[in-house]
Structure 1
Amino acid sequence: MRSIWKGSIGFGLVNIPIKLYSAVQSSSLGLDMLDGRDQSRIRYQRINEKTRKEVPYDQIVKGYPINDGYVILEDKDFEDASPEKSKMIEIENFVEMVEVNPMFYETSYYAEPETQGRKAYALLHKALQKSKKAGLGRFVLRTSENLCILHPVDKVIVVSKIRFAEEIRSAEEILTPDNVEVSKKELDMGLALINQYSSKFEIEKFKDEYHHELLKIIEAKAKGKRPTIKKLKPKKATDDNLYDMLMQSLDSSRKGA
């Protein structure tokens, strides 16, 4: 694994030299877009919408739409707005993990200590485990400033990028059933159903079945065959009575168990 960032974690006056490694990888298949007539790869061009001619890279500028025109931004504008190129993840405060809404999480990185920072790293790791808290800080990755959460996972400190508050859209326009009455009997049945399906969180049990099946098709087609894939059929509700459907769900869960 190659590190993607090298710097330090600032923990009070303690400086912990680290390297960051990507902790996630895509499970999607790398599919190319081809011309179906001769299987040549399709390339994209930068076309001027007025002249319909290709635009050279050195003639492309970036603009922000305002009123009926654009404000053109130059390289210096981006440089002036860029955060200071610090190589420090400065922990600004500590928070409860449950306070961080999952909507804020983006991606995660493993933090590996440099030789001279192993003891301080071990201290921070144990302190996070013991306190059951997470460090909240910010750092510069490439040219942008990022918020992050530092939390222990097994023997490693994980740095998870999180979104800024302004990146989360308001839910005010979403129609929700505020005035719908739910009876105590229905609520009790819903809670019973949740309890019936509750189990320990074991992510290893869940696989990306779609890409697994697609890869089987690709491998079979490469051999001139076509595999038979078993399709799942959606079950139709037999009743529009909420309580009855909850009861049927509970019975079905018990039989399955």
Structure 2
Amino acid sequence: MRAIWTGAISFGLINIPVKIFSAVEDSSLDMDMLDQKDHANIKFKRINENTGKEVPYANIVKGYKIDDKYVILEEEDFEAADAIKTKTIDIQSFTAEKEIDSIYYEQPYYLKPEKNAIKAYILLRDALEASGKVGVTNFVMRNKDSLAILKPYKNIILLNRIRFAQEIRDTKDLKVPKAASINKKEMDMASKLIEQLSEKFDISSYKDEYTSKLLKIIKDKASGKKQSKSKLKVVHKQSDDLMAMLKASLESKKSS
């Protein structure tokens, strides 16, 4: 794995030099875009809109438009915005993880300590484990201010980036009613169905089956094997009689 950020965790007066590694990888297949006529690869180029010529990546700079003119930003400008945050994961407080709604979670990363910081790293990891709490942090990665939590995961400290409150869209425009005329029998039956389908969550029992099936189709096509059309599962028409649908659902689960 390749480190994508290098800096330090700030824990009181303790600095713990660490490197950040992505904790996840995409399980989907890497597809290329091709011309339908001759299957030639489609290339995307960085074109100067004035000259029509391609611009080498090394010659590209970042700019922000103000009054029809661009202000060009250098790497030092990004760091100058908050030099401390660009190199420090500052623990600002500790809280119970359950207090953070799942809608805020964005991306997990692994933190690996430098050799001279292993003891301090383990101290923080084990202290978090003992407290049952997570550290709330603020730092800058890839020129973006990031909010995150630190928590123990197996034998490492996991950094999970979370969204700021202003990044979450308001639900008021969806216009979903707050209530409906649900009677007690319907609620009891729905609760019974939930109970019947309840089980201990085991992440290992869930697999990305679509990607493996798609890869099989690709290999079959490459070998000239004809594909049989998949039959769609029949979905019964929604009934206004919720009790009847709930009973049918319960019976369906019992017979399976």
TM bin, normalised by shorter chain, reads 0.7 to 0.9
Could you say if the C-alpha distance between residues 64 and 199 of structure 1 is closer, same or farther in structure 2, counting changes exceeding 3 Å? farther
> TM-score when scaled to structure 2?
0.86
1:119 Cα deviation (Å)? 2.1
The residue aligned with 1:193 is 193
Letter in 2 for 1:106: E
After TM superposition, give the deviation of residue 124 of structure 1 in Å.
1.7
Residue 170 in 1 paired to residue 170 in 2?
A: yes
> One-letter code of the match for 1:25?
E
Q: Are the aligned partners of 1:83 and 1:143 in contact in 2 as well (CA < 8 Å)?
A: no
1:3 aligned partner: 3
Partner of residue 83, structure 2: 84
| Structure-2 change in CA distance of 1:166 and 1:78 (3 Å) | farther
Summarize deviations over 1:67-94 as a string: whole Å, max 9, x none. Answer: xx74633226992674325321111001
Q: Which residue of 1 aligns with 2:71?
A: 73
Give the 3 Å change call, closer, same or farther, for CA 77–89 of structure 1 in structure 2: closer
CA change 1:111–1:46 in 2 (3 A) is closer
The match for 1:153 is 153
Secondary structure at the aligned position of 1:180 is classed as coil
Structure 2 counterparts to residues 46-65 of structure 1, below 5 A: 54=52, 57=55, 62=63, 64=65
Conserved? CA contact 2:90–2:138, under 8 Å: yes
Deviates more, 1:223-232 or 1:247-256: 223-232
Q: Who is 1:108 aligned against? A: 108
Q: Find the counterpart in structure 1 of residue 181 from structure 2.
A: 181
- Greater CA drift, 225-234 or 98-107: 225-234
Q: SS of the residue aligned with 1:215? A: helix
Unaligned runs of 5+ residues in structure 1 are none
CA distance in 2, matches of 1:191, 1:78: 58
Contact 1:16 1:117 (C-alpha < 8 Å) held by counterparts: yes
C-alpha separation in 2, matches of 1:19 and 1:60 = 27
The answer to whether the aligner puts 1:218 opposite 2:218 as a matched pair is yes
Q: In 2, are the aligned partners of 1:193 and 1:246 still within 8 Å (CA)?
A: yes
SS in 1 for 2:173: coil
Q: What residue is the counterpart of 1:239 in the other structure? A: 239
**What secondary structure does 1:148 align onto?**
strand
Q: Give the Cα–Cα distance (whole angstroms) in 2 for the partners of residues 55 and 92 of structure 1.
A: 48
Over 3 Å counting, the alpha-carbon distance change for 1:239 and 1:145 in structure 2 is closer
Residue aligning to 1:42? 42
The structure-2 alpha-carbon separation of the partners of 1:44 and 1:138, relative to structure 1 and needing over 3 Å to count, comes to same
Q: Structure 1's 59 and 30: CA in aligned 2 closer, same or farther, altered over 3 A?
A: closer
Q: C-alpha separation between the residues in 2 aligned to 1:62 and 1:234?
A: 54
For the Cα contact (< 8 Å) 1:9–1:16, is it kept in 2?
A: yes
Summarize deviations over 1:19-70 as a string: whole Å, max 9, x none.
2111000011111111111111112356788x8x7365469975559xxx74
Distance 1:64 1:78, change over 3 A: farther
Task: Give the match's secondary structure for 1:207.
Answer: coil
- Normalised by the length of structure 1, the TM-score is 0.85
Which residue identity does 1:72 align to in structure 2?
Y
Indicate conservation of the 8 Å contact 1:111/1:159, yes or no. yes
How many positions carry a matched residue from both structures? 251
- 8 A Cα contact 2:61 2:73, kept in partner: no
In structure 2, C-alpha distance between the alignment counterparts of 1:59 and 1:138, rounded to whole Å: 29
Mapping 1:112-131, distance limit 5 Å = 112-131=112-131
Q: By how many angstroms is 1:130 displaced?
A: 2.1
